[in-house]
Amino acid sequence: MPRISVSLVAGLASLLLGELLDSQDTDRTAQIRHALDGGTAQNILLFFGDGMGDSEITAARNYQVGAGGRLAMDTLPFSGTYTTYAIQEQTPTLPEYVTDSAASATAWATGAKTSNGRISTTALTDRDLKTILELAQEREYRTGNVTTAELTDATPAVLGAHVASRSCQGPDDMAMCPQDRREAGGRGSIAEQLVAHRIDVLLGGGANRFAQPMANGSSVRDLARTAGYRIAISANELALVQSMPVLGLFAPGNMNVEWAGDEALPYPSNVKSPQVCREGVRPAKEPSLEAMTIKALALLDRGTEGEAGFFLQVEGASIDKQSHAANPCSQIGELIAFDRAIRVGIDFAVRHPRTLLIVTGDHGQTGQIVPMPTDTDHPIGLISALQTKEGATMVLSYATNVYHRPQDHTGTQVRIGAMGPQAANVVGVIDQTDVFRILSRALEGRSSKSTSAGAR
320 binds Zn ion (CB under 5 A): yes
- In angstroms, the CA 200 to CA 26 distance is 43
- C-alpha 171/C-alpha 49 separation (Å) is 28
* Binding residue count for Zn ion, defined by CB under 5 A: 1
The DSSP element (H or E) to which 361 belongs, if any, is strand 355-361
- From 247-255, 314-322, 384-392, 425-433, span contacting Zn ion (CB under 5 A): 314-322
Segment interacting with Zn ion, rule: CB under 5 A, options 11-19, 259-267, 313-321, 367-375: 313-321
Q: For the chain, give the number of residues.
A: 456
Q: Which amino acid is at 307?
A: E
Euclidean distance between CA atoms 104 and 158, whole angstroms: 10
The smaller minimum CB distance to Zn ion, of residues 364 and 379, is found at 364
267-303: string of b/e by CB count within 10 Å (b at 16+)? bebbbeebeebebeebeeebbbbbbbbbbbbebbbee
Q: Which residue is nearest to Zn ion (CB)?
A: 320
Query: Active-site residue numbers?
Result: 101
254's CB contacts (< 8 A; 6+ apart) are: 148, 149, 150, 153, 205, 206, 317, 318, 321
CA 69 – CA 79 distance, rounded (Å): 17
Piece of the chain touching Zn ion by CB under 5 A; list 290-298, 318-326, 346-354, 371-379 = 318-326
- Could you tell me if 210 and 192 are in contact, meaning their C-beta atoms sit under 8 angstroms apart? no
Decide whether 320 or 339 has the Cβ nearer to Zn ion: 320
- Give the pairing of strands 78-83 and 428-431: parallel
Least separation in angstroms between CB 367 and Zn ion = 12
Write down the least CB distance from residue 147 to Zn ion, Å.
13
Secondary structure class of 335 (helix, strand, coil): helix
Q: Give CA–CA dist 144/129, Å, rounded.
A: 19
What is d(CA 328, CA 334) in angstroms, rounded to the nearest whole number?
10
Q: How far is the CB of 186 from Zn ion (least distance, A)?
A: 26
Please identify, among the stretches 32-40, 119-127, 317-325, 378-386, the one whose residues bind Zn ion according to the rule CB under 5 A: 317-325
User: Which of the ranges 22-30, 320-328, 332-340, 424-432 carries the binding residues for Zn ion, by CB under 5 A?
Assistant: 320-328
Distance in Å, CB of 92 to Zn ion, minimum = 22
Residue type, 112: A
Within its chain, how far is the Cα of 305 from the centroid? Answer: 27
Question: Using the rule CB under 5 A, is 138 a contact of Zn ion?
Answer: no
* CA-based radius of gyration for the chain: 22
Is residue 144 helix, strand or coil?
Answer: strand
For the bound state, the minimum distance from the C-beta of residue 454 to Zn ion, rounded and expressed in Å, comes to: 27
Binding mask 63-102 for Zn ion (x = CB under 5 A): ----------------------------------------
Q: How far is the CB of 271 from Zn ion (least distance, A)?
A: 27
Least separation in angstroms between residue 366's CB and Zn ion is 10
Binding site for Zn ion (CB under 5 A): 320
